[in-house]
Amino acid sequence: MLQVKNLNSGYGKLQVLWDISFNVEEGELVTIVGPNGAGKSTLLKTIIGLVKPFSGEIYFKGEKISGLPAYHVARKGVTLAPERGGLFPELTVMENLEVSAHASGNYSKFEETLEMVFNLFPVLKERRKQRAGTLSGGEQRMLTIAYTLMLRPKLLMLDEPSSGLAPTVVSTLFETIKRINAEGITILLTEQNVYDALQMASKALLIEEGRITLEGPKEKFLKDERVRKAYLGA
C-alpha cells in the first residue's frame, strides 16, 4: 500500500533521513521506534508532504505521492495525526469534526463517519459541545485522532499518540488504535512507549540517526539484545 524508496529528507541543508526504504502492506499496523531526534516525525511529515524530500520516491497504492502538497496526499487517503496541534482550540469538539469532514471533500458520509468516531471515542460524544482547548490532554489526543479519521483515511499515521498521557489513558488509547486497525484502516505510528507499541504491531522499524537499523516482525525486536537493552529496559 505504501512504498518508500531510497528516501533522503530534511530541512534546508540539514539532512535528517538517509536512504530510507520500506513497505507497508494493506491492513498492517507498523510501529516506528527510535530515540528522540532520530527522524521519526520527519519521516511521517515527508510522507504526508509537509516536508519535501531531497531525493527518493514515495508511492501510495502504486501512485507516486512524493512531491505532492499535503492536502493532495490527504485526499488520496493518507492522513497524519500530529504529535501536537492540529486542532482549533476555540471551536467545540463537534465543530472541529465538522471542519475536518468539510476538508475531506467527502461530506456526504459525515453521519456515518461521525458514528464510527463516537463509537471509538465515546468521551468525545459526551463532550461534543465543549471547546477543544478546554479538554484534558488525553481527550485532546483522542480528538486529534478523531479529526484525522473524519478525513476517512486508508492509511492513518499517528505521531507519538501516547506522548504526555497517563498510563491508564494510554492503554485505552492503544485498544482504540487496535480497533481502528480492525476496521480496515492501515496504521503507521511512531512511539516512545516501545514495549506496548511493539505488542500491537504486525511489523516494526527501528530508526537511529536517520537510518533504518532494524526491521521485521515484532518477535525479532523483542528478542534483539540491543533493542532490549536500549528500549525495553531489559
CB atoms within 10 A of CB 232: 14
- Give the residue, chosen from 11, 64, 164, 199, that forms a contact with ligand ADP under the rule CB under 6 A: 11
* Per CB under 6 A, 39 contacts ligand ADP: yes
CB 69 within 8 A of CB 50: no
CB 20 within 8 A of CB 211: yes
Q: How far is the CB of 83 from ligand ADP (least distance, A)?
A: 8
- Give the residue, chosen from 41, 144, 181, 186, that forms a contact with Mg ion under the rule CB under 5 A: 41
- Give the residue, chosen from 2, 16, 58, 185, that forms a contact with ligand ADP under the rule CB under 6 A: 16
- What is the Cα–Cα distance from 203 to 47, expressed in whole angstroms? 18
Closest CA to 57 of 10, 6, 11, 2: 6
Q: Which residues pair with 54 in a beta bridge?
A: none
* Per CB under 6 A, 71 contacts ligand ADP: no
> Which range of residues in 27-35, 37-45, 64-72, 220-228 is near Mg ion by CB under 5 A?
37-45
Number of residues that bind ligand ADP (CB under 6 A): 11
* Per CB under 6 A, 13 contacts ligand ADP: no
Q: Select from Mg ion, ligand ADP, none the partner in contact with residue 38, using the beta carbon and a kind-dependent cut-off of 5 to 8 Å.
A: ligand ADP
Distances (CA, A) of 48 to 66, 67, 124, 198, 234: 8, 10, 26, 23, 35
* Per CB under 6 A, 14 contacts ligand ADP: yes
Q: How far is the CB of 39 from Mg ion (least distance, A)?
A: 8
Dihedral in degrees, nearest 10, Cα atoms 34, 38, 44, 45: 160
Which chain residues interact with ligand ADP by CB under 6 A?
11, 14, 16, 34, 36-42
Residues near Mg ion (CB under 5 A): 40-41
